[in-house]
Amino acid sequence: MRRVRYDCAGGPLFLEDVPVPAPGPGELLVRTAAVGVTLPVVRKVTEAAEPIPLGGEIAGEVVAVGAGVSRFAAGDRVTGLCFGHGYAEAALLDEAMASPVPEGASAVEAVALVRSGLVALGALTAARPEPGGSVLVTAAASGVGHLAVQLARAHGASRVVGAVSDPAKADFVRSLGADDVVRYGDDDWGAPVDCVLDAVGGDLLGRAVAALAPGGRLVAYSSGGGSVSAYDLLVGAKSVIGFQMARIAREQPELYEQWRLSLWRLFAEKAVTPSVHGAFPLEAAQRAHAVIEARANRGKVVLVP
């Protein structure tokens, strides 16, 4: 089978031919039909001291199962987070990380919706938005952000603001249901909001806190770091909450499943629609990464083996 790999920090990415892996205990062997490209993986390629397996969200058909697997069988359509080599024509997926893809949804839609949607829904839930409140989403055109905008509206926000790096993304973000779109460098971000969902971090974090109304809550789910002034939190009675999807998956599997079912329900009701920026073949993985690095994507970037 074909698989994408790289030999040194920064790449380049290239294809290699390797044997199809055999599933071990608790594992599914999945013929991959779609692979999600994420910013954390792109960052690891450029920053990690040693090459890592290119993993991430995958979706496809189960072709074999390992010992002890009870929830899935060959022929089932699944999606899930692969911690090994996912940029490949076949990949191993832990049963605990797998979930079924319902009829009527494609593999590309599953990859674009489930993991990114779980992060978006989890961050929104952590923000504890009140019906009729206001929500600002940074990286609003990203794989997670474009779903967060739709979820905020679906959960009763009266005003949704999208923050983007490039004004060329404004029309796309408005098409998702955002009332206003601001650019990171704008002097005025408009009226303060009750909640901020931040996927950017770094220097933008302080600006995001400043956008909160008194008593507002910022949920940080970025790997971009950053710091805020304790005084700025104190004087506005504001709070910053860290959110990590992996912790929910490990420690609260019932909640994880509840959120997953909620996402598919909203998808069926057309309240949330994943957008795919581009579907790239495996041999174009380098170009797919370049789209993410340039922050040029509008929605999810997907590889299609």
Taking only the tens place, the pLDDT of each residue in 10-22 is 889 999 999 999 9
Whole-angstrom CA distances from 96 to 105, 113, 166, 276 are 21, 18, 38, 26
Does pLDDT of 59 surpass 90? yes
- The pLDDT value recorded for residue 100 is 95
- The pLDDT value recorded for residue 235 is 92
The set of residues, in sequence order, having a beta carbon less than 8 Å from that of 169 and lying 6+ positions away, is: 140, 141, 181, 298
pLDDT in tens, 127-171: 999 999 999 999 999 999 999 999 999 999 999 999 999 999 999
pLDDT in tens, 43-54: 889 888 889 999
Q: Which residues of 183-195 are buried (b: 16+ CB within 10 A; e: fewer)?
A: ebeeeebeebbbb
Domain boundaries 116-245, corresponding CATH code = 3.40.50.720
Residue 25, classified by CB atoms within 10 Å of its CB into exposed (0-12), middle (13-18) or buried (19+), is exposed
- The pLDDT value recorded for residue 97 is 87
Give residue 176's pLDDT band: very low, low, confident or very high (50, 70, 90): very high
Q: Which amino acid is present at 115? A: R
Does pLDDT of 237 surpass 80? yes
Residues of the chain with CATH 3.90.180.10: 2-101+275-303
- The pLDDT value recorded for residue 49 is 81
Q: Which amino acid is present at 72? A: F
Does pLDDT of 223 surpass 80? no
Give the CATH architecture of domain 2-101+275-303: Alpha-Beta Complex (3.90)
- The pLDDT value recorded for residue 206 is 92
Does pLDDT of 298 surpass 80? yes
Q: What is the mean pLDDT of residues 84-104?
A: 94
- The pLDDT value recorded for residue 282 is 97
Q: What is the mean pLDDT of residues 210-223?
A: 94
For the chain, the straight-line distance linking the first and the last C-alpha, in angstroms and rounded, comes to: 10
Q: Which amino acid is present at 266? A: L
pLDDT in tens, 243-294: 998 888 889 989 989 999 999 999 999 999 999 998 999 999 999 999 999 9
Give residue 224's pLDDT band: very low, low, confident or very high (50, 70, 90): confident
Residues of the chain with CATH 3.40.50.720: 116-245
